[in-house]
Chains A and B, each alone.
Chain A
Amino acid sequence: MTASDTHRAIEAVWRIESARLIAGLARIVRDVGVAEDLAQDALVAALEQWPASGVPRNPGAWLMATAKHRAIDLLRRRTRLERKQEELGRNLEAQQEMVAADLDTALDDNVGDDLLRLMFISCHPVLSSEARVALTLRLLGGLTTEEIARAFLVPEPTVAQRIVRAKRTLAEARVPFEVPGEAELAARLSSVLEVIYLVFNEGYSATAGDDWTRPALCEDALRLGRILAELMPKEPEIHGLVALMEIQASRLRARIGPSGEPILLFDQNRALWDQLLIRRGLAALARAEVLGGAPGPYALQAAIAACHARARTPAETDWARIVALYDGLAQLAPSPVVELNRAMALAMAFGPAAGLELVDVLTSEPSLKGYHRLPSVRGDLLTKLGRFDEARAEFERAASLTRNGRERNLLLERAAACARGSVRLAP
């Protein structure tokens, strides 16, 4: 192996091991930032030693042992400092023994619990949503600051700063490293799911930039979701989210045309949908359903996605069921965006006029002002009703609102088609 081969191998080991390493260390040192520093130190040691010594047989254990030594050193320094400051040196040796023993069990057992704690703390409500995303990708996804910056099209120092600040905020707020108790669990879990889905969505339909999708980000989100589903197998909404992501990801390669342009659901070549991911998605949805209880918002959205996945052609889509699922979603998690989707489903099930009625109500919704999909959907329904002049104005408005270059072109094309009066009606 050349040195650069070894470096790449170390990166791969890091991706696999870093989350467990940081999680185990965080439990001992009670500070996510310090835990990450210790883990990073172990990585640096690996980068120094492995090119000469070769990658050890069990690289994960090597990193753990190295980081553990550093953690013990750190704790000794801390207790020595405390002794000096507070003069309570009496049971120090005994304490140190306990710390070392603790550390052993902490690093060897309960890796799952530690990972879970790390997920919850990275998505803690005390942090901004951007900070949660950055910290989660960094600590649990094993992504470098540079990779996160590239994925979200922000400068690397911005991401680095976000992460530093997030770690400081957690330390200052003395956020405990623990899985939230019963009373808090639902709300805290929904924050974790939200972060994962945010990452997925940024990959699935990038909010900015010239690429319509960034599949690697979708894969990162899926990986986090699958890990979480194994850590908390009895939470139906996790399986719901995994199902939703698997099914949506199944369409990734059908959503882009040969020159990178977006292709909408009804225009997609369904033969390109990834049947393996669809099967995995349907299986995850079944897991959510088996666990029982009223389906949550992710399970409902997954069920909607499953309706599309099961339809071989757009015409075979079970629109009545989709409307019913949207009704459920609108009750559970009412939002103007859900209403907009419900309007589209209504239009498909009962005709464009039925959908337009609801969309027209939404035009006065302040939170949708500036949301490009509203005029885009309205333009679509107006087109189907043959009202091309109004439709064109809506598509142009939508084009002026979107930040995605590819999508803007698509919308302008549709506007131009309206102007020509030569409109291909969507099925």
Chain B
Amino acid sequence: MRFMMIVKANKDSEAGVLPTEEQLAEMGKYNEELVKAGVLLSGEGLQASSKGARVKYSGVKRNIIDGPFTETKELIAGFWLIQVRSKEEALEWARRVPFQEGEVEVRQVFELEDFGASDAVEHHARLREQITKPSTKPR
């Protein structure tokens, strides 16, 4: 099963302050642990919300609101996607994140089979394939 460990934003991440050497080293070590344990599938850090935008939906209307957004603690600053045997194992990995403050939210990823078969699910999967398909041509 897969879990996403979601890193919540803070003042520094929103201000675009880069981590210190020490923080980077600790994070590198943690990531290495995840890789060595064979559990890390992917992970990314996100830029400040000032570089992003929101799209609001209301019927057919679309409203675009540029960042930054103020409710810092509700924003996300990055994530890890891990494959583990249980929620407890995911929580144990989250406990080991070398943060001094802040919050990481652990959420289980839906597997497609959780939905059961339907046209909408297939359509969704096809869409996702188009988004993520590597551009490598067959040799």
* A interface residue numbers (CB < 8 A to B): 8-9, 11-13, 15-16, 59, 112, 216, 219-220, 222-227, 230-231, 253, 256-258, 269-273, 275-276, 278-280, 282, 307, 310-312, 316, 318, 321
User: 23 A-B pairs, CB-CB below 8 angstroms?
Assistant: A9-B92, A12-B88, A12-B89, A15-B89, A16-B37, A59-B92, A219-B85, A222-B38, A222-B83, A223-B83, A224-B38, A227-B37, A227-B38, A230-B38, A253-B112, A256-B113, A269-B122, A270-B129, A271-B129, A272-B122, A275-B132, A275-B133, A318-B139
Contact A275 B41 (CB under 8 A): no
Interface of B (DSSP majority class): mixed
A276-B132, A311-B138 known; A9 vs B116 contact (CB < 8 Å) = no
Contact B86 A8 (CB under 8 A): yes
CB-based closest 4 A-B pairs = A226-B38, A12-B88, A271-B126, A223-B38
Chain B residues within 8 Å of chain A by Cβ, number: 35
In Å, the complex CA distance between A288 and B133 comes to 21
Contacts A8-B86, A227-B38 known; 10 new A-B pairs at CB < 8 A: A9-B88, A9-B91, A12-B91, A16-B89, A223-B37, A226-B35, A257-B117, A279-B134, A318-B138, A321-B138
- Nearest B-chain residue to A259, judged by Cβ: B117
* B interface residue numbers (CB < 8 A to A): 1, 35-39, 41-42, 81, 83-86, 88-89, 91-93, 111-113, 116-117, 122, 125-126, 128-129, 132-134, 136-139
In Å, the complex CA distance between A256 and B117 comes to 11
In Å, the complex CA distance between A15 and B139 comes to 40
A13-B92, A15-B89 known; A272 vs B125 contact (CB < 8 Å) = yes
The interface residues of chain A lying within 8 Å CB-to-CB of B117 are 257-258
In Å, the complex CA distance between A227 and B35 comes to 8
Contact A230 B35 (CB under 8 A): yes
- Nearest A-chain residue to B42, judged by Cβ: A276
Interface centre among A9, A220, A271, A312 (most CB of B within 10 A): A271
A12-B89, A253-B112 known; A279 vs B132 contact (CB < 8 Å) = yes
Residue in A230, A258, A276, A279 whose CB lies within 8 Å of B36: A230
The interface residues of chain A lying within 8 Å CB-to-CB of B89 are 12, 15-16
